[in-house]
């Protein structure tokens, strides 16, 4: 041990030199006593990791030092820096939590323990291990938000050195980062770290695409630098004329952001117009709005592209004015306008709490929203039935859309797109959701399944005697709402569930002018057998607990004079539709893997559509004719899907495409030419059979590789 210390403390050693460089960052904002404590932590970590090497052959100590260096760039406090340096000591060395607490204090030891994995526990699967470690980290985050900041710094350095891992491990770690850690960084407002994590993950998963896109960006940068500099100077001059003190800088979209947009909208790099933009940094909020007016007077603004995140900040605290203008040669340019404080907040997010504290300035970020978000994640954890469900729920929560609504007191609530009234109720408080009675949207009474739009004001009326309705699960979007409803339903006694289920079925049967006692005994017994219920009370209980949809049960037991032959139980594709007449809409061609809903038709039974199908969304009929559906877990059928293929006008191209479709175990149902666009190319519309979205995606990828094929996309109808 003494030899180790002697090597570490040697002035010419790489350990001392590395800390000396690192120390230059610390002296900018920490005092001598705090830096001394950090140095003590570094000496222990160097000693503990002495002789340990990383996969790339580098001494292990330089990994935690790099993580600590990133946190120093964000001006985090000395305890966070110490914990970052020591973050692998408990997990990978003989030193335990008690030793760290004795030498560095309880706060530092708790931070290190919060970041450490549960590697010493045996798990049945990797998913269970991932879920357990995530649960542990979230629990530690709820006690101290700095835990996740240390974890994000750790992950950033792991991705920096990921090339030493095998391709499979690289992809696994990078995908986990894109699904969980990069979104957490964004949710906490740390945009700079979010972009770095996304770019590094993109490079690890798709190294060739990353390189090609990077080279294209460098080439494009050279072509547009002169133009962007011209726009920057024009704006700066106009602002100077108005005596508005600003700093105008050019900005560039990060690689993964460009890639996502290209993939989502199926565009080439040359079709992306907002790769480059301009950021205006002002001294105060008033100057921001004045600067916006100057920009709009100088260049033509693009309608519908203005967003005011200063008046209505994002949930992670981000504030800025966004607008798009038509620059020289009709080129669309995005403009961002914000104050200097807002700019720091945009880059460092929740870390700005410590950044400003270190400069003895007022805090710009009260992070109660982040704490509430973490509490919501812990609530989801308690209500999750298994690790897979928990991980899926967390990932869904980390990728929300953007709908902003107001409480009666003017507070802004952010919800995912397509959220309904019941999602809002549970977002306010679990008890508000559980006791929901009615709601008003902009002072007008609306139903519980009404979809919310940005800018609306929502008021919820509650009654303590009210309990959650299982039907709410059909339109609840947020994970918090869905888990809260399920958790409440589980607490309902079986007797209450039976009573509730009977009442729901009675109400649903009214649409058929039918009562429960009028259901033919033969029909009822057949339905009970299909639903695997011993008796009618068990069926009521299933409905009351939300496991069966009353509307579907009603359709099943209602007499029909012209009922076509139904599928055998083993052939059922949609959960809960045993014995019912099913058809699949040709306007959107739903297949397993798509989110689906059903439209109840007297002539066709239940017509299955994709959830985002425009034809059913535009349907003006009553909302109770539409129900959310889900695919059965084991679907072995073939389903029709529609593909649009654009090809060069070459001999044999149809035969080549047909052969590829056949090789992918799909059949061609029909093919026709679409002459609606005069592009000089042939556009062919195929209706083919596939087993689901995975098979269809694989086929599309293979078709895109074919010679003479220009574009392939799934067509809605």
| Residues with active-site annotation | 91-92
Angle in degrees, 0-180, between the axes of helices 78-85 and 62-73, rounded to the nearest 10: 160
What does the CA dihedral 202, 207, 213, 215 come to, rounded to 10 degrees? 130
Q: In the numeric block, which tokens belong to residue 361? A: 């300035």
- Residue 584 has φ and ψ, to the nearest 5°, of -115, 125
- What is the rounded CA–CA span in Å between residue 571 and residue 562? 21
Quote the Cα angle for 217-222-225, to 5°.
Answer: 105
Q: How far apart are CA 387 and CA 133, in angstroms?
A: 11
The tokens describing 642, both together, are 């529609």
Cα–Cα distances in Å, from 71 out to 29, 32, 65, 187?
12, 18, 10, 18
Q: Is 324 helix (H, G, I), strand (E, B) or coil?
A: strand
C-alpha span between 25 and 29 (Å, rounded): 8
Q: How far is CA 475 from the centre of its chain?
A: 19
Distances (CA, A) of 486 to 352, 436, 473: 38, 15, 8
Output b/e per residue, 216-239; b: 16+ Cβ within 10 A.
Answer: bbeebeeebeebbeebbebbbebb
Find tokens 């309990």 and name the residue: 467
How many other C-beta atoms can be found within 10 angstroms of the C-beta atom of residue 620? 4
Instruction: Give the integer Cα–Cα distance in Å for 549 and 569.
Output: 18
DSSP character string of 504-540: HHHHHHGGGT--GGGS-HHHHHHHHHHTT-SSHHHHH
With a CB cutoff of 8 Å and minimum separation 6, the contacts of 23 are 35, 39
Residue whose structure tokens are 């607990």: 545
612: helix, strand or coil:
coil
Q: Would you call 319 helix, strand, or coil by DSSP?
A: coil
Helix ranges (H only) for 510-645 are: 521-530, 536-544, 550-557, 614-617
The SS3 call for residue 474 is helix
SS3 646: strand
């Amino acid at each position: 041990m003494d030899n180790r210390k002697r090597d570490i403390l040697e002035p010419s050693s790489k350990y001392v030199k590395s800390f000396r460089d690192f120390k230059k960052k610390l002296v900018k904002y920490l005092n001598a006593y705090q830096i001394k404590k950090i140095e003590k932590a570094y000496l222990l970590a160097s000693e503990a990791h002495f002789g340990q090497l990383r996969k790339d052959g580098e001494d292990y100590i330089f990994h935690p030092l790099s993580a600590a260096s990133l946190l120093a760039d964000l001006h985090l406090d000395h305890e966070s820096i110490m914990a970052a340096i020591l973050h692998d000591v408990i997990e990978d060395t003989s030193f335990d939590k008690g030793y760290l607490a004795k030498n560095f204090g309880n706060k530092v030891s708790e931070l290190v323990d919060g970041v450490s994995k549960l590697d010493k526990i045996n798990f049945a699967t990797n998913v269970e291990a991932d879920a357990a470690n995530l649960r542990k980290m979230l629990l530690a985050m709820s006690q101290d938000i700095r835990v996740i900041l240390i974890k994000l710094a750790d992950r950033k350095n792991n991705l920096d050195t990921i090339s030493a891992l095998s391709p499979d491990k690289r992809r696994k770690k990078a995908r986990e980062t894109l699904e969980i850690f990069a979104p957490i960084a964004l949710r906490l407002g740390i945009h700079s770290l979010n972009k770095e994590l996304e770019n590094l993950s993109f490079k690890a998963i798709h190294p060739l695409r990353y390189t090609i896109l990077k080279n294209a960006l460098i080439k494009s940068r050279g072509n547009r630098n002169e133009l962007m500099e011209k726009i920057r100077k024009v704006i700066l001059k106009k602002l100077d004329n108005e005596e508005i003190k600003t700093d105008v800088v050019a900005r560039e979209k990060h690689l993964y952001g460009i890639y996502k947009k290209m993939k989502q909208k199926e565009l080439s790099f040359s079709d992306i117009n907002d790769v480059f933009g301009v950021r205006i940094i002002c001294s105060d909020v008033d100057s921001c709005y004045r600067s916006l007016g100057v920009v709009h007077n100088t260049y033509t603004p693009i309608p519908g592209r203005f967003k005011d995140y200063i008046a209505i900040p994002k949930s992670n605290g981000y504030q800025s004015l966004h607008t798009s203008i038509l620059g020289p040669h009709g080129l669309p340019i995005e403009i961002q306008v914000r104050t200097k404080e807002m700019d720091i907040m945009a880059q460092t997010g929740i870390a700005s709490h410590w950044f400003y504290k270190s400069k003895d300035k007022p805090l710009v970020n009260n992070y109660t929203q982040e704490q509430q978000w973490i509490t919501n994640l812990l609530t989801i954890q308690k209500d999750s039935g298994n690790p897979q469900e928990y991980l899926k729920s967390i990932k869904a929560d980390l990728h929300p859309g953007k709908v902003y609504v107001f409480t009666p007191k003017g507070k802004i609530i952010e919800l995912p797109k397509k959220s309904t009234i019941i999602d809002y109720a549970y977002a306010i408080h679990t008890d508000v959701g559980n006791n929901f009675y009615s709601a008003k949207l902009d002072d007008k009474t609306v139903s519980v399944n009404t979809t919310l739009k940005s800018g609306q004001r929502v008021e919820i009326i509650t009654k303590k005697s009210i309990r959650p309705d299982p039907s709410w699960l059909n339109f609840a979007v947020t994970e918090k709402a869905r888990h809260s409803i399920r958790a409440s339903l589980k607490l309902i006694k079986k007797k209450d569930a039976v009573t509730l289920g009977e009442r729901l079925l009675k109400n649903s049967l009214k649409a058929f002018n039918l009562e429960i006692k009028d259901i033919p005994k033969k029909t009822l017994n057949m339905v009970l057998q299909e639903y695997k219920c011993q008796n009618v009370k068990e069926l009521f209980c299933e409905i009351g607990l939300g496991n069966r949809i009353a509307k579907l049960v009603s359709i099943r037991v209602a007499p029909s004079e012209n009922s076509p032959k139904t599928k055998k139980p083993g052939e059922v594709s949609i959960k809960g539709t045993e014995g019912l007449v099913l058809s699949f809409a040709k306007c959107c061609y739903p297949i397993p893997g798509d989110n689906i809903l059903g439209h109840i038709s007297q002539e066709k039974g239940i017509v299955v559509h994709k959830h985002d199908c425009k034809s059913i969304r535009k349907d003006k009929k009553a909302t109770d004719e539409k129900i959310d559906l889900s695919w059965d877990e084991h679907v072995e059928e073939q389903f029709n899907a529609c593909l649009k293929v654009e090809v060069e006008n070459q001999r044999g191209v149809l035969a080549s495409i047909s052969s590829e479709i056949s090789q992918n175990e799909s059949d061609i149902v029909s093919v026709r030419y679409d002459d609606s666009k005069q592009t000089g190319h042939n556009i062919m519309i195929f209706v083919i059979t596939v087993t689901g979205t995975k098979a269809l995606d694989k086929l599309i990828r293979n078709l895109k590789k074919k010679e003479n094929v220009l574009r392939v996309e799934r067509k809605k109808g």
